[in-house]
Chain A
Amino acid sequence: MGAPDRVRPAAAAGALTMPSSKKVSSRAALEAYEVFQQAKDGDPMRHGGNVMAPDPELAMHYARELFGRRNESTRLWVVRRTDIAVLEDPDLLDPPLDRSFKKPGGYVMRDKLAAARARAGTEKPAARATGHDRTGGRRPKATS
């Protein structure tokens, strides 16, 4: 399968292409480190930006400056960019065949429910609790 070709290090694709003829030989000890930040306890890690650093220890110092000097984070992840594998392949992430059975939108029941109520001679219940399928729940009442 061709899939492994589509999973590539973030650094290789596009990050260092030269727009013009000016080739610059900065064979750097400096590398990019991506910084992920958790604002407060329980929050998800969010990508915030990146720093250049010669090694993981200084990368951590600089990440702290970027995302910690204002007491805005409870946790930081500092990752060397070349250690990140990127998946962007639409064949894997957005394959073309129908997969609606995996999502709520694949189960539209309005007409069927109406038919079932009609057969049973019942009305829609007035006050409804939200079900675990996320249907139901209160509608805003009209002014009485």
Chain B
Amino acid sequence: MTISAAASPAAGALEPRTRGALAELLFTMADDEFVSGFTDSEWTGIAPLLEEDVAISSISQDELGHARALYQLLVDVLADGRDEDVLAYDREPDEYRHARLLDHPRGDWADTIARRFFYELADEARLASIGAAYRPLAELVEKLRREERYHRMHVLAWLDRLANGGEEPRRRLEDALLAQGVDAPTVFTPLEGEAALLEAGILTRSMAAAEAAWRADLTTAMVPLGLALPPSIEPPADGRRDHSDAFDWLWSEFTMVRRSEDGVTW
């Protein structure tokens, strides 16, 4: 990707190598929230209970709001004239950098809870790895962490209720955790330019270290419920590429109206 010279003061102060790495980090974070929010928003109107419908919808809106804020940071870092909608919408499917975990479709309620559980705790570990060096991101992360508390509370409440809700909920949960557990580590796929970010203090620890923290967190949540931890595998190098058919379908949906006409305002 080309980085132009004209950018905000904060972004302009960065070395080109660092700026490139930061853009890559922001794409991974924004795309994760964007895809996760989209998939969760599918539950709007059809969740198991009306009260729960409103709750999951709020969570999906939070995620989309986080994605929007992250894309807005990217606008400054890239400074190539693309606004947040162009960044969010106007890329080909294989240009998206979200983790393969989030390629899993909505599935049933247990699938969603399993995916959200893995992702929420991973996102928390990632957010805890962001340092103070790039102020706009550090400030945003502080706000994101406050909003994410509610998501964590919600998903843990549901993990508990499914695990302890009887034979059927438990079985469905275990199946879902198994199916998604294989891809869960992809949130920690090694970042291009991670070394530069660590040097600059934009990251305080590597994705590998964040993953270790995540596993400890998973253990605390899953062991008391008697749930099996996902296999301890290295995230594949292409964990954020090569997206699935499910994502291709999602992409064709969310770009449908935009692609119908170029250069107009919606």
Contact = CB atoms under 8 A, between A and B. Distances in A.
Contacts of A62: 51-52, 54-55
A69 B51 contact: no
Contact of A65 (B58, B157, B161): B58
A61 B49 contact: no
Interface string B240-251: 000000000000
A53 B157 CA distance: 13
B55 A57 contact: no
Contacts of B54: 62, 65-66, 69
Interface residues of A, number: 12
B154 interface: yes
B63 to A, nearest CB: 14
Contacts of B150: 64
Given A57-B157, A58-B157, A65 B49 contact: no
Interface string B33-57: 0000000000000000101101100
A52 B51 contact: yes
Interface string B125-150: 00000000000000000000000001
The range of chain B's interface size is: 10 to 19
A76 interface: no
Nearest to A70: B58
B153 interface: yes
Nearest to B150: A64
A65 B51 CA distance: 8
A144 B154 CA distance: 68
A136 B150 CA distance: 54
Contacts of A58: 51, 157, 161
B58 A51 contact: no
Contacts of A69: 54, 58
Nearest to A52: B51
A57 B159 CA distance: 13
A52 B49 CA distance: 9
